[in-house]
Structure 1
């Protein structure tokens, strides 16, 4: 297993926003806990003002967006190590997604991403999201496309 290259988690809103291309109100990550070349652990506390809330819970589309932005945050940090600004990426294909529960406002999520393969600007990634009790609430495998 590769060593975590972060000495301390990145929790500063300002620093996180510099690592991803997304802008408010469409930001679905707020912490980078761990980083290796092929894996990352991100966090997100569901805010009361989130645009994808339904009945005071983060909607399925919000969980999927959080998983995709977790990959984006991993890529943004990777780019920052070499002095590059974050590149824009899109969800190309969602191969699988399973959602087992919807987090409430104020709930803290932790997502584990892993790069499975990479060919040119297409990255296949798996993600697993857990709630603050360590229960898996979602898993996915998707391909993201990065544009210059």
Structure 2
């Protein structure tokens, strides 16, 4: 297993927002816990004033966006290691599989594990697994993201 290249988790909101192309009110990550070349662990505390909250829960599309932004955060940090000053824009190209097992409630802390499965030019196949603070898996997905300059 590759070594985590972060000396300590990145939890500063401004630093996180500078690593992803998304901006408020559409930010769905707030922590980068671990980074290796092919894997990352991100976090997100579900805020009450999020645009994808319904009846006190983050809806399914919010969880999917969180998983995609977890990959984006991994990519953004990778870009800073390569000397890029701003993150590249990307989007979900294909969602191969997604399974939502539970919707997290406002205030819940999520942890998501992303892994790059393969990469061809600007298309990246990635798997993601999101757990709640009890360590229970609440969502899994495999998707292809497309990065544009």
Q: Secondary structure at the match of 2:77?
A: helix
Question: 2: CA distance between counterparts of 1:55 and 1:92?
Answer: 29
Alignment pair present for 1:79 and 2:79: yes
Residues 96-115 of structure 1 mapped to structure 2, 5 A cutoff: 96-115=97-116
Deviation, 1:144, is: 0.1
Residues 1-148 of structure 1 mapped to structure 2, 5 A cutoff: 1-84=1-84, 85-148=86-149
Task: Give structure 1 stretches of 5+ with no counterpart.
Answer: none
Q: Secondary structure at the match of 1:69?
A: helix
**TM-score for both structures, normalised by structure 2:** 0.99
Deviation, 1:82, is: 1.5
Aligned residues: 148
Deviations 1:37-56 (A, max 9, x none): 00000000000110001110
Question: 2: CA distance between counterparts of 1:130 and 1:36?
Answer: 19
Deviations 1:100-133 (A, max 9, x none): 0000000000000000000000000000000000
Question: 2: CA distance between counterparts of 1:26 and 1:83?
Answer: 25
Deviations 1:40-77 (A, max 9, x none): 00000000110001110000000000000000000000
Tell me the C-alpha RMSD between the 2 structures.
0.3
Q: Secondary structure at the match of 1:50?
A: coil
Structure 1 runs (4+) deviating above 2 angstroms are none
Task: Give structure 2 stretches of 5+ with no counterpart.
Answer: none
**TM-score for both structures, normalised by structure 1:** 0.99
